[in-house]
A = this chain, B = another copy of it.
């Protein structure tokens, strides 16, 4: 392969909302300051290698539909390197500073672990060179779900040898993430769960998972990797029940196994809705527990019960996501990773750019809307006023745990029936809608 992978496509520029040029940013202006921070620093956008460069368009009922011009149909090391060059051309033309990867999507699996590791080292060395000074992984991770050895789980496999294999693979993946300057490391337990409780010892599997994470933390510290460890909750798929079901379940697990100080969460919108929550709910749950670490910026389809990993283009949703991120004071050292894929039927190279631009512009509109909401101030004021009865002396004492039930009962006898004002939900919705 000679020359450019995306000829005819130059670096995407900000041209403002009135631009009719498809390949331009209408809302995302990297260097523009919003709410005291540059847009690029609020978002720290990242390209997901797997969807963008390994997504074949296959689904459970259909074979590959994407045949990018640079692909030669092999899974060779040479192909892996060529693909990596395509990745960096894409990342640079998009104008972002981050990328994310699984070990096995950037380099081919070998016949043995040594061979797999050698393949990985070779591709990683090239990536290091291509990264230059500015680009680095938002995070790396190990792919512990594709290979048949992981069919019963990785850390939660019923087979000890598989548990060991997963440990070895994670060890290596942390090492290369560290080597590439990655700022985080993610655990998505694709096969950590069960298909049926009838043949599963859930307690034993969860205990193994706890041990596994403890081992990973120990190794991370040993080699001096300071990136954040992130768990990515998902309720189900591929298994019937994934152990990291949602934010609250992951927090329960981290507490039980003494890991709450060592991990944050990577919240994915599509996973949130599959678990029966809004994306905003999952972000807020993570935020108020101090573990909001990263956002996988995508969306599902409200009528679909599996992970569609679509690019998010709903500006209301994007605004709610940014409400949480702004309240969190930003998301660094995490960022927004586009864990999103082209639809199976989108087969033009250009579609890769369109999808990312559309996703970035939508998030940018979300941030701009939050700025409007904050400037306007009325939504924040509505919430503050709602709880003002607790901004009193007795309120402070209750919140400090100093008032017992007997005292409270006496107060009730003294105060009589409470007056309860309107919750003003429709007003809150009106204010929110007006900012879009």
Contacts and interface: CB of A to CB of B under 8 A. Distances in A.
A257 to B, nearest CB: 10
A32 interface: no
Contacts of A354: 426-427, 430
A162 B418 contact: yes
Most chain B CB within 10 A, of A280, A305, A413, is at A305
A31 interface: no
A405 B219 contact: yes
A256 interface: yes
A281 B235 CA distance: 13
A236 interface: yes
A349 to B, nearest CB: 10
A78 interface: no
B235 A60 contact: no
A113 B411 CA distance: 11
A358 B429 contact: yes
Given A161-B415, A241-B277, A288-B206, A351 B426 contact: yes
Size band of the interface chain A makes with B = 35 or more
15 contacts: A59-B60, A61-B146, A148-B420, A159-B421, A164-B411, A164-B412, A171-B405, A195-B425, A196-B343, A204-B390, A219-B405, A252-B255, A305-B306, A348-B421, A361-B430
Nearest to A203: B288
A145 interface: yes
Interface string A133-175: 0000000000001111111100001111111110110111000
Contacts of A167: 405, 408-409, 412
Given A148-B57, A405-B168, A418 B159 contact: yes
Given A199-B423, A252-B255, A413 B62 contact: no
A74 interface: no
**Ordered nearest first, which 5 A-B pairs have the shortest CB separation?**
A305-B305, A161-B418, A345-B423, A252-B252, A168-B409
Interface string A206-236: 1110010011101100000000000000011
A301 B358 CA distance: 25
Interface stretch (A5-13, A34-42, A309-317): A309-317
Interface in A275-329: 275-278, 280-281, 284-285, 288-289, 301-307, 311, 313-316, 320
A59 to B, nearest CB: 5
Contact of A151 (B198, B345, B406): B345
Contacts of A394: 160
